[in-house]
């Protein structure tokens, strides 16, 4: 069954044009470019004869109903949103690669016995609002979002309702579809292991747990020229020392514990005023929840140690996602199929977060990775060769075929 790689590449290019004028891909959840992406997908789904449903979070479901067991749902997909200045494949490859795989199956084999479902989750990255996986958490009835804003002060639920109203103009069904029988997510690896090992496919065994925090350091703003060095309560200098101690602490707990401070805000952020307030993010990940617990206790203790009046340091945790094991029998199926297709593969754990970790709480779930050139992701340079993109779709299609026909 030959794959129409050109169609996949053309679809990727079309949606990747829905971005801001800034560098990289910028399709943050509920923005106008995100709306255009989901609407384009709905239009393609309609052309392919699929039933399109949109839920209250703006996740799009494209179904081709099974002829014999329509209630058994074999699902695939990933997320439509990107990080700020992201790459062309994170999330989108799983959406459009899944769409490609399903289209080929229905073109060549006709209607499946079980329902095939393509899912384009609304949001996975946590890049606009302080919440991650809000689309899959809503679909899986795990958790809903309330009372959070983006940096412009726009309320999540207001942005959500406005964007979903735009999607509903596209002649779609609405509601929250049932949880599928299985879920497979196709994704770029986003790291260097497959490319370094010259493997075409990664079969994902587990996904790390992650926690994210916002740390606020309150000091005292004052004149940069007149305030003696010994009399300062410079929130930025304290934040720098604190970050350096936390990095050392993370390394002492486990060499595999990741520690990233990716977002910093300084007030008033001007050259001749001692900073009175700083907030910074911490993103930390590990395969073992006990390690994350230990580090969280360490973060909270350090915040207390650094809170010497008039300085105060507060810790707000806004993500606590557990490490998960993915389904062993779906992985075994994909291992057999990869061997049959003559694709080189290896099993690996994912250091990135994915909607699959939420899906795995409610249904057997597996992931297929393809190599990332240079191991780069969450950056404009993110790249995968067309032949590797093609291989991932081939494997996904064969797995969906075995399960649904």
List contacts with ligand GLV (CB under 6 A). 125, 352-353
* Residue closer to ligand GLV (CB basis): 324 or 338: 324
Contacts of 307 (CB under 8 A, 6+ apart): 313
Distance CA 268, CA 344 (A): 54
247 is in an annotated binding site: no
Counting other chains too, the contacts that 301-307 makes at CB distance below 8 Å and 24 or more residues apart are 302/242, 302/245, 302/246, 302/249, 303/215, 303/242, 306/217, 306/238, 306/241, 306/242
The answer to whether residue 394 forms part of the interface with Mn ion (CB under 5 A) is yes
Contacts of 392 (CB under 8 A, 6+ apart): 93, 97, 186, 201, 368, 369, 370
Residue 258 β-bridge partners: 285
* Residue closer to ligand GLV (CB basis): 96 or 116: 96
Q: How far is the CB of 61 from ligand GLV (least distance, A)?
A: 21
Residue 240 binding partner per list ligand GLV, Mn ion, none, with a CB distance cut-off of 5 to 8 Å that depends on partner kind: none
* Residue closer to ligand GLV (CB basis): 90 or 388: 90
* Residue closer to Mn ion (CB basis): 91 or 112: 91
Burial 254-271 (b: 16+ CB within 10 A, else e): beebebebeeeebbeeee
User: What are the distances in angstroms from CA 387 to CA 4, 153, 196, 253, 304?
Assistant: 11, 43, 17, 40, 52
Residue 55 binding partner per list ligand GLV, Mn ion, none, with a CB distance cut-off of 5 to 8 Å that depends on partner kind: none
Distance CA 346, CA 240 (A): 40
Q: Tell me the two tokens of residue 176.
A: 């929250």
| Residue from the set 24, 91, 180, 275 that interacts with Mn ion by CB under 5 A | 91
* Residue closer to Mn ion (CB basis): 88 or 91: 91
* Residue closer to ligand GLV (CB basis): 87 or 275: 87
Contacts of 269 (CB under 8 A, 6+ apart): 275
Identify which range of 28-36, 84-92, 201-209, 276-284 contacts Mn ion by CB under 5 A: 84-92
187 is in an annotated binding site: yes
Q: How far is the CB of 352 from ligand GLV (least distance, A)?
A: 4
Q: How far is the CB of 304 from ligand GLV (least distance, A)?
A: 28
285 is in an annotated binding site: yes
Q: How far is the CB of 339 from ligand GLV (least distance, A)?
A: 29
Position of tokens 């249904």?
363
Distance CA 160, CA 31 (A): 9
Q: How far is the CB of 321 from ligand GLV (least distance, A)?
A: 10
The answer to whether residue 388 forms part of the interface with Mn ion (CB under 5 A) is no
196 is in an annotated binding site: no
90 is in an annotated binding site: yes
Distance CA 350, CA 152 (A): 32
| Residue from the set 63, 81, 90, 185 that interacts with Mn ion by CB under 5 A | 90
User: What are the distances in angstroms from CA 236 to CA 28, 110, 225?
Assistant: 29, 62, 16
The answer to whether residue 3 forms part of the interface with Mn ion (CB under 5 A) is yes
Residue 3 binding partner per list Mn ion, ligand GLV, none, with a CB distance cut-off of 5 to 8 Å that depends on partner kind: Mn ion
Q: How far is the CB of 37 from ligand GLV (least distance, A)?
A: 17
What single-letter DSSP state applies at residue 374? G
Q: How far is the CB of 43 from ligand GLV (least distance, A)?
A: 26
390 is in an annotated binding site: no
Judge residue 246's burial from the number of C-beta atoms within 10 Å of its C-beta, 0-12 exposed, 13-18 middle, 19 or more buried: buried
Binding residues for allantoate: 212, 272, 285
Binding residues for Zn(2+): 79, 90, 125, 187, 378
> Which residues of the chain form contacts with Mn ion (CB under 5 A)?
3, 90-91, 394
């Amino acid at each position: 069954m030959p794959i129409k790689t050109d169609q996949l590449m053309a679809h990727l290019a079309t949606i990747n044009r829905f971005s801001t004028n800034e560098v990289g891909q910028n399709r943050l959840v509920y923005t106008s470019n995100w709306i255009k992406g989901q609407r384009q997908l709905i239009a393609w789904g309609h052309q392919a004869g699929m039933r399109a449903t949109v839920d209250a979070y703006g996740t799009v479901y494209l179904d081709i109903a099974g002829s014999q067991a329509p209630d058994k749902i074999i699902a695939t997909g990933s997320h439509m949103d990107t990080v700020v200045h992201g790459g062309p494949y994170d999330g989108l490859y799983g959406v459009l690669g899944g769409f490609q795989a399903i289209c080929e199956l229905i073109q060549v084999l006709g209607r499946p016995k079980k329902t095939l479902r393509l899912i384009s989750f609304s949001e996975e990255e946590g890049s606009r609002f302080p919440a991650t996986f809000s689309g899959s958490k809503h679909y899986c009835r795990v958790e809903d979002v309330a009372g959070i804003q983006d940096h412009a002060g726009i309320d999540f639920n207001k942005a959500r309702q406005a964007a979903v109203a735009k999607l509903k103009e596209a002649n779609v069904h609405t509601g929250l579809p049932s949880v599928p029988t299985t879920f497979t997510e196709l994704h770029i690896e986003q790291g260097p292991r497959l490319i370094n090992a010259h493997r075409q496919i990664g079969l994902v065994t587990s996904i790390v747990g992650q926690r994210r925090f916002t740390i606020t350091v309150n000091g005292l703003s004052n004149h940069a020229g007149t305030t003696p060095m010994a009399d300062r309560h410079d929130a930025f200098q304290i934040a720098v020392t604190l970050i350096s101690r936390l990095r050392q602490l993370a390394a002492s707990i486990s060499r595999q514990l990741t520690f990233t401070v990716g977002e910093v805000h300084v007030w008033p952020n001007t050259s001749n005023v001692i900073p009175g307030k700083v907030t910074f993010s911490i993103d930390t990940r590990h395969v073992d929840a006990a390690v994350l617990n230990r580090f969280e206790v360490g973060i909270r203790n350090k915040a207390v140690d650094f809170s010497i009046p008039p300085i105060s340091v507060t810790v707000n945790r806004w993500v606590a996602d557990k490490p998960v094991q993915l389904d062993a029998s779906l992985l075994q199926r994909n291992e057999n199929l990869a061997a049959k297709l003559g694709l080189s593969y290896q099993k690996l754990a994912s250091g990135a977060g994915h909607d699959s970790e939420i899906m795995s709480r409610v249904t057997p779930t597996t992931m297929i990775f393809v190599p990332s050139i240079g191991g780069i992701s969450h950056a404009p340079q993110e790249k995968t060769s067309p032949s590797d993109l093609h291989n991932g779709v081939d494997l996904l299609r064969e797995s969906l075929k075995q399960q649904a026909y």
